[in-house]
């Protein structure tokens, strides 16, 4: 099974898109997304210096635009991707790229959303001097406890022995003066404490905009970076894109889900390297490839063909097949058999595990065709639970 992932802020480097302008149609598509976002992605991806593209308001649209256009280079006929890609995920802002790839929203909607996200987060970061520090090594629980002791947030838990803590500059200085045992600290060159309470003002702005965004349910498994949950509801994906701005990224749980659903290969979109590096340590045995220049396309196409898989939602739309959002035990919440109707939004049960309890809803309602699991059965992320006929068909 192939998973395609999109990197987050900090992965961009000066000139990283220059080689891609030689690919037919790439520059035209990038200029269109520049027009939509009001930001010159061509200039920033080829000519701007490191300080310029480090600006949150520039970096985020640049990364999403780059990811979307390289996706089209990978899959010139986007519909074919749904029969080959088993799952998608994105780190931080990369989840917007992943949402487009999964069919939740259009590229144009994504560019407007990420433009506003970048601006709002830059404004929130300007309120109080804040920052982020990568903690390499050390015991996970000890690192988190030490961060909390100084009022910091474990903003990114990336797995493979890497946690990023965030907060005010004074809190980071106190943390550095009393570091966790066996841990190395590396201050990051970022504009603020992303994925913490310091970004709360940006959440409010994005939430108001999200009310006007029309979305679709996913056409493949989308792994949420909030908790590693497999999400199929388009509205839930959009909600998580908004709240993730001030919530920690749990990439470690994303990789755990990838292992649980049987991922055998991971392909990272441009500018690749960060997530493939984490996968090499956190997903042993999984083949990885970072797509950085057009020279990597033949290897990427070969990887896709060798690991292509048809996800359940590629065969059946999500409104016909409800799947498990996480690993755990399924607890049935309704007494319905074949032929019985479920109302739109009705909870049919929950998946219970050691972390939490995830409700399973019938977002569009429908008539039960067959139950694919029973009460008390163990389930994995993306596993089909019940097959439904749409309400319109049952009427």
Residue 300, pLDDT score: 96
Q: How far apart are CA 245 and CA 264, in angstroms?
A: 30
195 flagged as catalytic:
yes
Structure tokens at 255: 């990789």
Of these residues, 44, 91, 150, 195, which one is catalytic?
A: 195
Q: Is-same-fold flag (2-124+197-313; 125-187)? A: no
Name the CATH superfamily for 2-124+197-313: Malonyl-Coenzyme A Acyl Carrier Protein, domain 2 (3.40.366.10)
> 232-271 pLDDT, tens per residue?
889 899 999 999 999 999 999 999 999 988 899 999 999 9
SS (H, E, C) the chain: CEEEEECCCCCCCCCCCHHHHHCCCHHHHHHHHHHHHCCCHHHHHHCCCHHHHHCHHHHHHHHHHHHHHHHHHHCCCHHHHHHCCCEEEECCCHHHHHHHHCCCCCHHHHHHHHHHHHHHHHHHHCCCCEEEEEEEECCHHHHHHHHHHCCCEEEEEEECCEEEEEEEHHHHHHHHHCCCCCEEEEECCCCCCCCCHHHHHHHHHHHHHHCCCCCCCCCCEEECCCCCCEECCHHHHHHHHHHHHHCCECHHHHHHHHHHCCCCEEEECCCCCHHHHHHHHHCCCCEEEECCCHHHHHHHHHHHHHHCCCCHHHHCCCCCEEECCCCEEEEECCCCCCCCEECCCEEEEEEECCCCEEEEEECCCEEEEEECCCCCCEECCCCEEEEEECHHHHC
Distance CA 278, CA 13 (A): 19
pLDDT for 311: 45
Which tokens in the block code for residue 262? 């049987």
Q: What is the pLDDT of residue 306?
A: 94
Find the Cα–Cα–Cα–Cα dihedral 366, 258, 95, 221, rounded to 10°: -20
Tokens matching residue 192: 């603020």
Residue partners of 325: CB distance under 8 A and separation at least 6: 229, 230, 231, 232, 351, 358, 360, 381
pLDDT of 317 reads: 47
Q: Which residues is 186 bridged to in the sheet?
A: 134
pLDDT of residue 318: 45
Which pLDDT does position 161 carry in this prediction?
A: 87
The domain made up of 125-187 has a fold known as Alpha-Beta Plaits (3.30.70)
Give domain limits for the chain.
Answer: 2-124+197-313, 125-187, 319-394
The pair of three-digit structure tokens given for residue 182, joined into one six-digit string = 């066996």
Pairing of strands 328-332, 378-379: antiparallel
11, 37, 92, 233: the catalytic one is 92
Give pLDDT < 50 ranges for the chain. 311-318, 392-395
366-371/378-379 β-pairing: unpaired
Please confirm, yes or no, whether 92 is among the known catalytic residues: yes
User: Is 319-394 CATH 2.60.40.10?
Assistant: no
Contact 323, 382 (CB under 8 A): yes
Pick from 335, 306, 56: nearest CA to 195: 56
The pTM of the full predicted model, rounded to 2 decimals, is 0.82
Distance from C-alpha of 63 to C-alpha of 117, rounded to nearest angstrom? 13
């Amino acid at each position: 099974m192939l998973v395609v992932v999109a990197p987050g802020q900090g992965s961009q480097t000066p000139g990283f898109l220059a080689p891609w302008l030689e690919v037919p149609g790439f520059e035209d598509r990038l200029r269109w997304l520049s027009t939509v976002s009001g930001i010159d992605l061509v200039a920033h991806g080829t000519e701007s210096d490191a300080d310029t593209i480090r600006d949150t308001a520039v970096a985020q649209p640049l990364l999403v635009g780059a990811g979307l256009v390289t996706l089209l280079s990978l899959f010139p006929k986007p519909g074919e991707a749904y029969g080959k890609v088993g799952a998608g995920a994105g780190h931080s802002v990369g989840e917007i790229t992943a949402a487009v790839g999964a069919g939740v929203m259009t590229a144009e909607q994504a560019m407007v959303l990420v433009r506003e996200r970048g601006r709002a987060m830059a404004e929130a970061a300007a309120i109080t001097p804040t920052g982020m520090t990568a903690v390499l090594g050390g015991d996970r629980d000890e690192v988190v406890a030490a961060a909390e002791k100084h009022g910091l947030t474990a903003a990114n838990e990336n797995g493979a022995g890497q946690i990023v803590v965030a907060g005010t500059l004074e809190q980071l200085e106190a943390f550095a003066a009393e570091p966790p045992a066996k841990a190395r600290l590396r201050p990051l060159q970022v504009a603020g404490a992303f994925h913490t309470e310091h970004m709360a003002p940006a959440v409010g702005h994005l939430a108001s905009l999200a009310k006007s965004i029309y979305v679709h349910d996913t056409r493949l498994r989308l792994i949420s970076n909030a908790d590693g949950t497999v999400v199929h509801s388009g509205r839930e994906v959009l909600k998580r894109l908004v709240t993730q701005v001030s919530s920690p990224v749990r990439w470690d749980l994303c990789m755990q889900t990838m292992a649980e659903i049987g991922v055998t290969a991971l392909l990272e979109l441009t500018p690749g390297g960060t997530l493939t590096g984490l996968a090499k340590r956190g997903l042993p045995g999984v083949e990885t490839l970072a797509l950085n220049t057009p020279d990597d396309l033949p290897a990427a196409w070969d990887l896709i063909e060798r690991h292509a898989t048809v996800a359940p939602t590629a065969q059946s739309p999500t409104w016909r097949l409800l799947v498990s959002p996480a690993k755990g035990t399924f607890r049935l919440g309704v007494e319905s058999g074949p032929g019985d109707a479920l109302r739109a939004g009705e909870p049919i049960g929950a998946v219970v595990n050691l972390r939490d309890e995830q409700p399973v809803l019938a977002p569009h309602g429908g008539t039960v065709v067959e139950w694919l699991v029973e009460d008390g059965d163990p389930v994995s992320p993306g596993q089909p639970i019940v097959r439904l006929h749409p309400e319109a068909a049952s009427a």
